[in-house]
């Protein structure tokens, strides 16, 4: 038996060792620096309102409900996608007197309940206000192109070609920006998509356009020519959903001061009453803007782009404009691939800067004057979201739209290099998940995202109670959606699962408390030439091979290297932040790994490597070139810099991605966490001056089609605090206990066992001992488990009698005898009482019907008579008899639940157990059992899907019945305990 595996492998019951740490022992909370999380640390809800058609009394009640359930914040959002009826926006629209009254009511009640209130920047998304029209200077803009085709030597005389894309509704004005002529390349045709053009033939003939007409004769050269007109106009884009305002709101230009001023001016004039201003400073959290979903059938535009492009890039955009224009998200024209990529890249670089300078920064500055922070989902365009994450008060991703964990790591890279505190997550969004979403499935997904850098969850979401046309169980912003169940979940008291949600909220709050402590420490930085987020593209080698053995990585865009944090000290990049041990540089993953690199980035890499930072280059960079349009000599200079870089001892070049491990070995790199074997174990590492905090999660969802398996393996942890010992913090109960079984490696690291069921988590904290810290610890034991008692003594536990040897850290072996232990008992007979939730007389009324069954065997409700289409709360009760030799002083038992749908609580002899890990499904009954008859109760809560399938078949009838209830098999597994004489 391995020195550290004894507790995991010796059990006749696989789950006993996982639950034994829940019963008693020192809290240790002061030792690990954790406390009950404050409201600001707790998870939040997106709170969906049917615009302002809300009752202030109901608003206050819902705030109280959210606070009492353990959530710390709400984000008020006007979202009406599910509604068939158009609201009266004159009376109840966003920004009206009714809206102000409702927001004020929410803020007042939130202040009383210590709830943080966030506000969305406008109705739905993107940012929009009703104080502009599509033709306004502040409105979102597009560039639409028109085309006339001329054969060789023919003349065009007529109106300037109209735009091929129709103008949006309400757009009445457009301005001719430019008219060009250009020859169609040989081998292409005017109907090709895209049309290949000869760059050298582009000619500006705008001066020939007068009175809306133009005349031009194509050269007689045997080729086809195009007359291309570029029209600048409003896009007419409106926020998502039904009309929210009167007059209609239109999306603002996110790349101009005028667009941002339209937002702030509207708020100042129409929303920010003196009382709301005061309340925001007292209980406001963030101003929130959703992802940058700027939509047009033409081309994204802002009027200042040509001038700003030339100022920033040093050349004119206009001769190259053709390769940037689009129709229905497809490029209309092309010069040649390398030039196309260069121009498009340069344009989006400028768009990034315009967004930051004219939208993000001024909006954030203005929010600060209100006592708010700015929270934005900074992706949605091909812009540098990693950089924006470094600037934002709070950056946010989403569980529904992000493709994998590396999408979150992109945002985390910006956050950490910018010294920002949070990566928020629009959590729990599930396509088709309305009223069928399990908390346990939500947690399995969320904990992996926590391991990837997320440390705040804003759940999608909590719906206001009612709205016109809503049916039972009430208004839900996204359900029904296009006639189907919709996405997201409408959490709240309308759901049976809400009964058990407080334990979920407390669990999440404690996890977030850990992950908001100190700073995020990461092993490797991966340089991305383009700072997109949401692409789903992983890191070379580390995503596939490094993560499963304990490596952590993050992503940096070139702009991050300009931040004050981007310095090297003691061989680490950003030593006060992520403290990266190396930078990895591959080709540009967004363009087939071309070897592109900015000159200033190459210079920085050279300076970093000279300062002692290891750098890994992938591939042959002899063909390196700068991104964007190169100036004379740029590419040659880049190659020289890279040659110089590769001569340094701190730099290692490998042929391709699979060879990265060779560079790791050659550079002598080590990771902070080392796994004994490759697995689906994920972790995050936080550190402050007093401790290292290691969050571990068993990834049950990242591999498509995998439900995951139990992970039991040794991990080796690095401690940065001298004299630190390991504590295990349980986010379900909030207790921290010293680890009794571990080993010290020769280099001072700590080696111990992590044992997690799929989706389960644990937190290990390495810090100096305090309080009743153990005088000795074990390095091996034959017992099922060993733990530290409140007075610092060691205690073993075993499910079978015998004499068990424990080896202590001083190499002394101690024999401890365990007396008789009753055999495990299968619990098959139960009395089941079901509280059946049914539609009442109104959309918000639920009536309850009771069912009672005596079960000789456990089975899903779908297989029990009368419960096939029932949703609600099930209470299972059984009696277990123990002999007179049962001694609560030396005996205990764990309850293995087997299968449960969905959340549950456990009672023993009338006493509630502390919250039980909902993923592990094992409850430690401890000393709560006694000789004779013992009553065990398990309460199970369900979703509403099974009832809704028959109550609203048009929307939910296609949903597959879910297997509710306690399905088992359930076993009571006794154990005995004895103190180890140290």
**Residues 337-383: tens digit of each pLDDT:** 999 999 999 999 999 999 999 999 999 999 999 999 999 999 999 99
Contact present, 904 and 939 (Cβ < 8 Å): yes
CA-closest candidate to residue 195, choices 331, 341, 343: 331
pLDDT at position 774 is: 86
User: b/e for 819-853, b at 16 or more Cβ within 10 A?
Assistant: eebbebeebeebebebbbbbbeeebbebeeeebee
| DSSP label of 498 | G
Contact present, 681 and 756 (Cβ < 8 Å): yes
Contact present, 856 and 832 (Cβ < 8 Å): no
d(CA 670, CA 86): 60
Residues found in the chain:
982
Q: Kindly state the tokens that stand for 341.
A: 């990529």
Residue 627, judged by CB atoms within 10 A of its CB (0-12, 13-18, 19+), counts as: buried
Measured CA distances, 456 to 44, 86, 415, 535 (Å): 8, 34, 13, 21
Q: Which residue matches tokens 């309400």?
A: 170
| DSSP label of 249 | P
Give 97's contacts (C-beta < 8 A, 6+ positions apart).
Answer: none
Measured CA distances, 632 to 76, 623, 637, 680, 793 (Å): 53, 16, 10, 49, 74
pLDDT at position 770 is: 80
Cis preceding-peptide flag for 473 (omega within 30 of 0): yes
pLDDT at position 776 is: 94
User: Strand ranges (DSSP E) for 699-812?
Assistant: 711-717, 725-730, 735-738, 743-744, 750-756, 761-767, 778-781, 785-788, 794-798, 802-808
Contact present, 708 and 51 (Cβ < 8 Å): no
d(CA 880, CA 893): 12
| DSSP label of 150 | E
Contact present, 301 and 234 (Cβ < 8 Å): no
Tally the C-alpha atoms within 13 A of residue 148's C-alpha that lie toward its C-beta: 22
Rounded to two decimals, what is the model's pTM?
A: 0.96
Tally the C-alpha atoms within 13 A of residue 856's C-alpha that lie toward its C-beta: 0
Name the region of 700 (left: φ>0; alpha: ψ -120 to 50; beta: rest).
alpha
Residue 416, judged by CB atoms within 10 A of its CB (0-12, 13-18, 19+), counts as: buried
Q: Which helix (H) or strand (E) holds 443?
A: helix 439-451
> pLDDT digit string (tens) for 967-981?
999 999 999 999 999
CA-closest candidate to residue 238, choices 250, 228, 227, 246: 250
pLDDT at position 32 is: 65
Give 248's contacts (C-beta < 8 A, 6+ positions apart).
Answer: 130, 170, 238
CB atoms within 10 A of CB 198: 16
**DSSP secondary structure string for all residues of 546-585:** IGGGT--EEEE-GGGGGSTT--EETTEESTTTT-BSEEEE
Measured CA distances, 404 to 247, 383, 394, 537, 686 (Å): 40, 19, 20, 8, 22
Which is it for the CA torsion 33, 39, 40, 46, positive or negative? positive
pLDDT at position 31 is: 58
Which residues are bridge partners to 935 per DSSP? Answer: 879
d(CA 881, CA 974): 12
pLDDT at position 11 is: 28
Contact present, 181 and 205 (Cβ < 8 Å): yes
Measured CA distances, 770 to 546, 725, 792 (Å): 35, 10, 11
d(CA 3, CA 7): 9
Question: Which parts of the chain register pLDDT below 70?
Answer: 1-33, 704-705, 772
Contact present, 571 and 579 (Cβ < 8 Å): no
Measured CA distances, 790 to 645, 776, 796, 893 (Å): 57, 14, 14, 20
> pLDDT digit string (tens) for 532-548?
999 999 999 999 999 99
Q: Measured at the alpha carbon of residue 573, what is the angle toward residues 569 and 578, in degrees to the nearest 5? A: 115
Give 189's contacts (C-beta < 8 A, 6+ positions apart).
Answer: 195, 224
CA-closest candidate to residue 355, choices 232, 233, 257: 257
d(CA 110, CA 67): 8
pLDDT at position 33 is: 60
User: Strand ranges (DSSP E) for 220-272?
Assistant: 225-234, 250-251
CA-closest candidate to residue 924, choices 875, 973, 980, 979: 973
d(CA 161, CA 226): 10
CB atoms within 10 A of CB 881: 10
Q: Which residue matches tokens 């200077």?
A: 137
Contact present, 915 and 732 (Cβ < 8 Å): yes
| DSSP label of 168 | P
Contact present, 55 and 466 (Cβ < 8 Å): no
Contact present, 683 and 552 (Cβ < 8 Å): yes
């Amino acid at each position: 038996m391995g020195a550290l595996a004894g507790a995991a492998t010796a059990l006749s019951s696989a789950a006993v060792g996982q639950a034994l740490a829940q019963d008693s022992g020192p809290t240790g909370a002061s030792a690990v620096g954790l406390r009950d999380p404050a409201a600001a640390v707790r998870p939040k809800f997106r709170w969906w309102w049917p615009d302002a058609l809300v009752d202030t009394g109901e608003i206050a009640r819902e705030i109280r409900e959210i606070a009492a359930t353990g959530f710390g914040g709400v984000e008020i959002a006007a979202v009406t996608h599910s509604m068939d009826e158009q609201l009266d926006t004159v009376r109840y629209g966003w920004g009206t007197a009714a809206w102000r009254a409702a927001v004020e009511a929410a803020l007042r009640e939130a202040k009383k309940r210590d709830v943080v209130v966030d506000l969305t920047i406008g109705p739905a998304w993107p940012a929009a206000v009703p104080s502009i029209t599509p033709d306004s200077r502040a409105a979102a803009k597009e560039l639409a192109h028109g085309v006339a085709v001329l054969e060789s030597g023919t003349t065009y005389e007529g109106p300037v070609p109209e735009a091929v894309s129709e103008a949006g509704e309400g757009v009445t004005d457009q301005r001719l920006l430019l008219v060009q002529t250009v020859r169609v390349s040989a081998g292409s045709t005017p109907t090709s998509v895209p049309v290949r053009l000869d760059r050298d033939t582009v000619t500006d003939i705008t001066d020939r356009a007068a009175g809306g007409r133009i005349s031009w004769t194509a050269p007689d050269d045997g080729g086809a020519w195009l007359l291309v007109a570029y029209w600048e106009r409003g896009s007419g884009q409106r926020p998502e959903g039904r009309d929210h305002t009167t007059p209609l709101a239109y999306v603002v230009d996110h790349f101009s001061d005028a667009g941002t001023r339209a937002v702030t001016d509207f708020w100042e004039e129409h929303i920010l009453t003196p009382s709301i201003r005061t309340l925001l400073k007292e209980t406001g959290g963030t101003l929130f803007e959703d992802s940058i979903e700027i939509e047009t059938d033409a081309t994204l535009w802002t009027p200042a782009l040509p001038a700003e492009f030339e100022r920033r890039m040093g050349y004119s955009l206009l001769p190259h404009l053709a390769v940037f224009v689009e129709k229905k998200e497809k490029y209309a024209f092309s010069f040649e691939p390398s030039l196309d990529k260069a121009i498009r890249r340069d344009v989006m670089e400028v768009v990034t800067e315009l967004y930051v300078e004219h939208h993000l920064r001024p909006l954030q500055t203005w929010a600060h004057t209100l006592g708010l922070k700015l929270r934005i989902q900074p992706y949605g365009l091909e812009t540098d979201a990693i950089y924006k994450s470094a600037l934002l008060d709070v950056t946010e991703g989403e569980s529904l739209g992000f493709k994998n964990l590396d999408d979150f790591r992109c945002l985390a890279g910006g956050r950490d290099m910018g010294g920002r505190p949070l990566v928020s997550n629009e959590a729990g969004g599930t396509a088709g998940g309305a009223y069928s979403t399990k908390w346990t499935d939500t947690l399995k997904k969320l904990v992996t995202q926590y391991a990837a850098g997320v440390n705040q969850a804003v759940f999608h979401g909590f719906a206001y109670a009612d709205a016109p046309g809503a049916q039972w169980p009430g208004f839900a912003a996204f359900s029904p959606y296009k006639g189907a169940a919709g996405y997201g979940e409408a959490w709240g008291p309308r759901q049976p699962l809400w009964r058990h949600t407080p334990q979920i909220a407390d669990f999440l709050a404690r996890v977030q408390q850990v992950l908001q402590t100190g700073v995020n420490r990461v092993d490797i930085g991966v340089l991305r030439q383009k700072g997109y987020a949401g692409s789903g593209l992983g890191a070379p080698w580390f995503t596939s091979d490094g993560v499963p053995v304990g490596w952590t990585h993050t992503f940096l865009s070139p702009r991050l290297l300009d931040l004050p944090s981007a310095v090297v000290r003691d061989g680490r990049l950003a030593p006060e932040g992520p403290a990266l041990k190396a930078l990895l540089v591959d080709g540009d993953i967004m363009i087939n790994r071309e070897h592109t690199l900015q000159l200033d980035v190459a210079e920085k890499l050279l300076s970093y490597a000279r300062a002692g930072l290891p750098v890994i280059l992938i591939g042959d960079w002899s063909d390196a070139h700068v991104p964007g349009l190169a100036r004379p000599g740029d590419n040659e200079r880049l190659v020289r810099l890279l040659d110089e870089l590769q001569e340094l001892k701190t730099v290692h070049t490998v042929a391709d991605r699979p060879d990265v491990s060779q560079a790791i070995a050659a550079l002598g790199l080590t990771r902070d966490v080392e796994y004994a074997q490759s697995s689906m174990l994920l972790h995050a590492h936080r550190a402050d001056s007093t401790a290292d905090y290691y969050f571990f999660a068993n990834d049950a969802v990242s591999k498509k089609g995998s439900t995951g398996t139990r992970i039991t393996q040794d991990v080796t942890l690095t401690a940065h605090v001298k004299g630190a010992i390991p504590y295990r913090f349980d986010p379900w109960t909030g207790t921290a206990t010293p680890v009794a079984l571990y080993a010290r490696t020769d280099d001072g690291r700590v080696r111990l066992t992590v044992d997690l069921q799929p989706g389960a988590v644990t937190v290990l904290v390495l810090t100096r001992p305090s309080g009743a810290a153990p005088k000795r610890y074990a390095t091996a034991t034959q017992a099922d488990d060993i733990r530290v008692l409140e007075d610092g003594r060691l205690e073993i536990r075993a499910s079978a009698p015998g004499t068990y040897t424990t080896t202590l850290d001083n190499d002394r072996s101690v024999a401890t005898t365990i007396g008789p232990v009753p055999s495990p008992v299968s619990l098959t007979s139960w009395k089941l009482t079901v509280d059946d939730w049914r539609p009442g007389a109104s959309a918000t009324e639920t009536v309850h019907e009771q069912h009672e069954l005596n079960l000789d065997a456990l089975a899903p409700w779908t297989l029990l008579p009368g419960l096939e289409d029932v949703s609600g709360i099930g209470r299972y009760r059984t009696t277990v008899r123990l002999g007179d030799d049962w001694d609560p002083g030396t005996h205990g038992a764990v309850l293995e639940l087997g299968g449960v749908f969905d959340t549950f609580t456990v009672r023993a002899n009338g006493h509630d157990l502390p919250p039980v890990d909902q993923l592990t499904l094992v409850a430690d009954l401890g000393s709560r059992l006694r000789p004779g008859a013992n009553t065990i109760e398990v309460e199970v809560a369900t979703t509403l899907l099974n009832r809704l399938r028959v109550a609203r078949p048009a929307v939910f009838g296609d949903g597959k019945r879910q297997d509710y209830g306690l399905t088992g098999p359930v076993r009571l597994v006794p154990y005995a305990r004895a103190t180890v004489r140290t």
